[in-house]
Chain A
Amino acid sequence: MNVESALADKQMKKSQRRELKNYFRQNWQLYILLLIPLAFALTFKYAPLSGLVLAFKDYKIARGIWGSEWVGFQVFQDIFAHRDFIRALRNTLLLNGLDLIFSFTAPIFLALLLNEIRHSMYKRVNQSLLYLPHFLSWPIIGALAYQLLGLGSGLVNNVIEMLGGDRIPFLQSDYHWLASYVGIGVWASMGWGTIIYLAAISGVNPELYEAATVDGAGRWRKMWNVTLPSIRPTIITLLILNLGRIMGGSFEQIFALQNKATNEFTTTIPVLVYRWGIESGDFSRATAVGLFQSVVGLILILIADRIAKKLGEDGLL
């Protein structure tokens, strides 16, 4: 390295530093703003993270988190070797995958359809009705589901029989149960899911629609070329976020809809977490499974984010 390039380097570093100083002078307020959420995140989300060590310990309540004995990966070995684990893993991926295909896309279609309604009162009333399932808790939905779809005395089956058909085991035969589970999941979440998309759609510049009409575009063309692209960033964001939950899922939904005779698909990882954590009080195991879920979720998000960026989207990070 000769003197000239050394000097040039020094110049660069100096100007870089000046740039940095300028940047902070202009943008310090942004960092002040960030302090508030950061404080909340640290106090309430990061502080309990130290509890993750429970996944590597043999937790005894009396000894506390720090006094309990270190066992390394023993807990994980126990979990992965457990007879129910593989089935739970398969079911988790299956149910969440179906969920992603149906429950994720249904609100989008519904939002697009709702957008087509020009009668404002009609639209408002329907929207309010569509949100109702979101307010019923799963135990109630479960009880109702069996009251309607039960094989023995369910209302729907009574009607079917009256019309001359055979009774259908909606919730009492494995594959039927799967379909019902997905269907009820869609029913419960599709209305509420439209909110975020409709909010995004409401931000679309109407000039775009006018331009499309001028170009001779019909209803469907407009939907494809104007509306959908406007909500694409939202869709991508939510998709990535949901991918991160592929190992998770709702324990409550299963609990409400399951019955012990139709058990092929009803054991999932969240169910195991409940069984080991709450029913058995084995917190080490529950924490370990939780950690497993989190790590897989994080990896998936990073991958999905990469792909999204490659496709030209904003991505998450």
Chain B
Amino acid sequence: MAVTGTIQPASRRRFDTWDIVIYTLIALISLVCLLPFVHVIAKSLSTDAYVIANKVFLWPKGFTTEAYQKIFADASILRSLYVSVFVTVTFTVLGMIVTTCAAYPLSRRNLKGGAVLTFIFMFTLYFGGGIIPEYINISNLGLLDTLWALILPGAFSAYNLLIMRTSLRSSIPDSLEEAARIDGAGHFRILWSIVLPLSKPIIATLSLFYAVGRWNAYQDALFYIKHATELRPLQLKLYYLVVQASESFQLEVSNVNLSNPEVLKASVVVFATVPILLVYPFIQKYFVQGVMIGAVKE
């Protein structure tokens, strides 16, 4: 039975009071999660003057799509959207490859040196050189002002690696592996034909983590993409817009900061979030029940 995410046979139970409680609770929580986003959308469709005065809550005031028109007319924002998409997709694919190559071997309990290697990988989660040494490293590798500075460094994620390893350990028990070995398969073959198909949920999950993490983050782009302004990802543009408006306390004459009003900020937030939100429904279907029934007789 491969119903999306549902574990218990649907036909057998009645809809009892607990169900009502649970359904209502979930609905309430979802509402609390949704409303702030509705607020941002409302702001993005309102007149600037009302937004500045904090008068907009859930419904647009002084409805106008001016901000969105501005966005679609600005070639640089559209361009940064393409950049973000490219970087995210490449990053996710590369990240999954790297993670899987690490997670599968480490999930084998009898791997010699496994503990040492895990430690080496995990160490990087907690120890980092700091902004300047990392910047110098990227600079030395010649990656500054290229998109690879956004794709390569984060492809290896110890966090995702450990999650995947845990998952593989339970979903691919040693007995399954041995059975395949007896049949004459090498590890590459096992990985390709057995592990990957069985790991669809975890691969889907981690791909989502990689993709969303990359899509949302802008701090590295802030440092690494300086000259090549056409390579700025979308979130970085958003960051500049938001930060733009904050007070500059320096001794400049005639600050001019009126090119980024509040409404534009809100609409860029919506513009930056909607694409990635659309991705999730497509991934959902991979969270199907594992196809392990009958494969292993424990």
Spell out A's residues near B (CB within 8 Å).
Answer: 23, 26-27, 29-31, 33-34, 36-38, 40-41, 43-52, 54, 65, 110, 113-120, 122-137, 139-141, 144, 147, 153, 155, 187, 190-191, 195-196, 198-207, 209-210, 213, 219, 222, 227, 233-234, 237-238, 241, 244-245, 277, 283, 286-287, 290-291, 293-294, 297-298, 301, 314, 316-317
Does the CB pair A317–B122 fall under 8 Å? yes
In the assembled complex, how far is the CB of residue B171 from the closest CB belonging to chain A, in whole angstroms? 6
Contact A196/B205 with A40-B156, A241-B159 known, Cβ cut-off 8 Å: yes
Task: State which residues 107-137 of B face A: CB under 8 Å.
Answer: 108, 111-112, 115, 117-134, 136-137
User: What are 27 pairs between A and B in contact, CB < 8 Å?
Assistant: A29-B186, A36-B97, A38-B117, A40-B156, A41-B158, A45-B124, A48-B129, A49-B128, A117-B26, A118-B6, A125-B30, A129-B33, A136-B40, A136-B269, A153-B54, A198-B5, A201-B7, A202-B7, A204-B289, A206-B7, A206-B8, A233-B169, A234-B163, A238-B163, A241-B159, A297-B126, A314-B169
Does the CB pair B289–A116 fall under 8 Å? no
* Interface SS of chain B: helix
Does the CB pair A317–B118 fall under 8 Å? yes
Inter-chain contacts of A29 with B (CB < 8 A): 186-188
In the assembled complex, how far is the CB of residue B183 from the closest CB belonging to chain A, in whole angstroms? 14
Query: Which of B68-76, B79-87, B248-256, B274-282 lines the interface with chain A?
Result: B274-282
CA distance A133 to B30 in the complex (A): 10
Render B203-216 as a binary contact track against A, CB cut-off 8 A, 1 for contact: 01100110010001
Does the CB pair B129–A49 fall under 8 Å? yes
Among B9, B128, B269, B290, residue most surrounded by chain A Cβ atoms (within 10 Å): B128
Query: B141 near A: Cβ within 8 Å?
Result: yes
With beta carbons under 8 angstroms apart, the residue of A31, A37, A117, A317 that contacts B99 is: A37
CA distance A132 to B273 in the complex (A): 9
CA distance A30 to B111 in the complex (A): 8
In the assembled complex, how far is the CB of residue B244 from the closest CB belonging to chain A, in whole angstroms? 12
Contact A187/B186 with A41-B121, A51-B134 known, Cβ cut-off 8 Å: no
Does the CB pair B1–A206 fall under 8 Å? yes
CA distance A26 to B39 in the complex (A): 59
Render B91-116 as a binary contact track against A, CB cut-off 8 A, 1 for contact: 00000011101101110100110010
Spell out B's residues near A (CB within 8 Å).
Answer: 1, 3-10, 12, 18-19, 22-23, 25-27, 29-34, 36-37, 39-40, 54, 57, 97-99, 101-102, 104-106, 108, 111-112, 115, 117-134, 136-137, 141, 152-156, 158-159, 161-163, 166-167, 169-171, 181, 186-188, 191, 201-202, 204-205, 208-209, 212, 216, 238, 242, 269, 273, 276-277, 280-281, 284, 287-290, 292-293
Inter-chain contacts of B208 with A (CB < 8 A): 195
CA distance A38 to B158 in the complex (A): 11
In the assembled complex, how far is the CB of residue A138 from the closest CB belonging to chain B, in whole angstroms? 11
CA distance A217 to B258 in the complex (A): 65
Contact A116/B131 with A135-B277, A147-B54 known, Cβ cut-off 8 Å: no
Inter-chain contacts of B119 with A (CB < 8 A): 317
- Look across to chain A and name the residue whose beta carbon is closest to the beta carbon of B181: A26
- Look across to chain B and name the residue whose beta carbon is closest to the beta carbon of A136: B36
Inter-chain contacts of B118 with A (CB < 8 A): 316-317
With A125-B30, A237-B166 known, 9 other A-B pairs at CB within 8 A are A38-B102, A50-B133, A126-B26, A127-B280, A129-B33, A134-B212, A140-B269, A202-B5, A204-B289
Contact A34/B186 with A49-B129, A196-B205, A203-B170 known, Cβ cut-off 8 Å: no
In the assembled complex, how far is the CB of residue A232 from the closest CB belonging to chain B, in whole angstroms? 10
Q: How many residue pairs between the two chains, A and B, have CB atoms under 8 Å in the bound complex? A: 274
Does the CB pair B3–A137 fall under 8 Å? no
With beta carbons under 8 angstroms apart, the residue of B25, B101, B287 that contacts A113 is: B25
Does the CB pair B23–A199 fall under 8 Å? no
Inter-chain contacts of B129 with A (CB < 8 A): 47-52, 287
With beta carbons under 8 angstroms apart, the residue of A34, A137, A219 that contacts B18 is: A219
- Look across to chain A and name the residue whose beta carbon is closest to the beta carbon of B6: A118
CA distance A283 to B205 in the complex (A): 37
Inter-chain contacts of A118 with B (CB < 8 A): 6, 8, 10
Does the CB pair A294–B5 fall under 8 Å? no
Does the CB pair B121–A120 fall under 8 Å? no
CA distance A219 to B7 in the complex (A): 12
Among A50, A133, A135, A287, residue most surrounded by chain B Cβ atoms (within 10 Å): A135
With beta carbons under 8 angstroms apart, the residue of A135, A202, A233, A316 that contacts B287 is: A202
In the assembled complex, how far is the CB of residue A242 from the closest CB belonging to chain B, in whole angstroms? 10
Does the CB pair A233–B121 fall under 8 Å? no
Inter-chain contacts of A234 with B (CB < 8 A): 163, 166-167
CA distance A46 to B191 in the complex (A): 28
Contact A298/B26 with A31-B105, A33-B104 known, Cβ cut-off 8 Å: no
Inter-chain contacts of B124 with A (CB < 8 A): 41, 45-46
In the assembled complex, how far is the CB of residue B39 from the closest CB belonging to chain A, in whole angstroms? 6
CA distance A199 to B27 in the complex (A): 21
Inter-chain contacts of A27 with B (CB < 8 A): 108, 111, 187
Inter-chain contacts of A130 with B (CB < 8 A): 29-30, 33
- Look across to chain A and name the residue whose beta carbon is closest to the beta carbon of B141: A43
Inter-chain contacts of A147 with B (CB < 8 A): 54
The 8 A-B pairs with the shortest beta carbon distances in the complex, nearest first, are A51-B133, A48-B129, A51-B129, A37-B102, A40-B156, A29-B187, A45-B124, A30-B105
CA distance A118 to B201 in the complex (A): 19
- Look across to chain B and name the residue whose beta carbon is closest to the beta carbon of A28: B187
CA distance A36 to B1 in the complex (A): 37
